[in-house]
């Protein structure tokens, strides 16, 4: 299965009308999903598959060939609402598998799973807990106006895409409790920001 992390998918899926737009999984010097870039007409936004980005992955070519045998591959597909929500709201990884069905032809199987853990040192784990606290307790409340709150919300979602994956084998129970509490606070703040940037009071 080809894995795409929410860190890569968020820019691609967050454009206006994201779920209604076709996604094109493709192999051509790596494996990626591409969609038209609304801010740059004629250009494409790409979400690279894990291990298959020529700019960042040393063995990208071998990894891509192991996942898709064909030298080039391209297929247009759409994402279901449940899959879309799992990636953007729960920071899940998206898995895609090209399938050649004799009766229905070529298709793509799609499923999501919770983000795979990335293990870091306990110091880094604690630093990220502090960063989450700062994000919700300081930066959010420092926003002035709707535009700043919208920028904060987008930044917070990108931060969660990365931090929610982290763990440390040396973390203590108190560290994990602080981590979970910090995640909850950031998510609560995100939920308070409405689409126009105003604050939803509960």
Q: What is the mean pLDDT of the chain?
A: 91
Is the pLDDT confidence value at 102 over 70? no
Which bin fits 54, alpha (ψ -120 to 50), beta or left (φ > 0)? alpha
Output 145-151 pairs: Cβ under 8 A, ≥24 positions apart: 145/197, 146/196, 146/197, 146/198, 147/197, 148/197, 149/193, 149/197, 149/198, 149/199, 150/193, 150/197
* Three-state SS at 80: coil
What is the pLDDT, as a whole number, of residue 133? Answer: 94
Query: Considering only 14-23, 24-33, 85-94, 178-187, which range has the smallest mean pLDDT?
Result: 14-23
For residue 105, name the pLDDT band (cuts at 50, 70, 90). Answer: low
**Tokens (6 digits) for 68:** 């898709």
Dump strand ranges (E) for 15-121. Answer: 24-27, 31-36, 44-48, 73-74, 93-101, 105-113, 118-119
> What mean pLDDT is predicted for residues 145-150?
95
Is the pLDDT confidence value at 153 over 80? yes
Q: How far is CA 176 from CA 36, 71, 124, 129, in A?
A: 40, 44, 13, 9
Dump strand ranges (E) for 50-104. Answer: 73-74, 93-101
pLDDT digits (tens, 9 = 90+) for 19-69: 678 889 999 999 999 988 888 888 888 999 999 999 999 999 999 999 999
Is the pLDDT confidence value at 76 over 70? yes
pTM: 0.84
CB-based contacts of 191: which residues, under 8 Å, 6+ apart?
Answer: 200
pLDDT digits (tens, 9 = 90+) for 112-140: 999 999 999 999 999 999 999 999 999 99
Q: Nearest 5°: phi and psi at 129?
A: -60, -45
């Amino acid at each position: 299965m080809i894995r795409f992390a929410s860190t890569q998918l968020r820019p691609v899926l967050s454009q206006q009308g994201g779920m209604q737009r076709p996604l094109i999984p493709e192999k051509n010097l790596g494996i990626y999903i591409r969609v038209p870039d609304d801010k740059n007409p004629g250009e494409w936004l790409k979400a690279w598959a894990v291990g298959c980005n020529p700019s960042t992955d040393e063995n990208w070519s071998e990894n891509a060939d192991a996942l898709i045998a064909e030298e080039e591959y391209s297929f247009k597909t759409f994402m279901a609402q449940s899959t879309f929500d799992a990636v953007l709201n729960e920071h899940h990884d998206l898995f895609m598998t090209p399938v050649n069905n004799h009766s229905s032809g070529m298709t793509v199987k799609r499923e999501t799973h919770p983000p795979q853990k990335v293990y870091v040192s306990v110091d880094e784990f604690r630093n990220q807990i502090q960063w989450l606290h700062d994000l919700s307790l300081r930066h959010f409340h420092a926003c002035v106006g709707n535009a700043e709150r919208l920028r904060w919300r987008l930044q917070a979602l990108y931060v969660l895409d990365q931090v929610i994956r982290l763990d440390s084998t040396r973390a203590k129970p108190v560290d994990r409790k602080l981590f979970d509490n910090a995640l909850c606070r950031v998510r609560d703040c995100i939920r308070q920001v409405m689409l126009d940037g105003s604050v939803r009071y509960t």
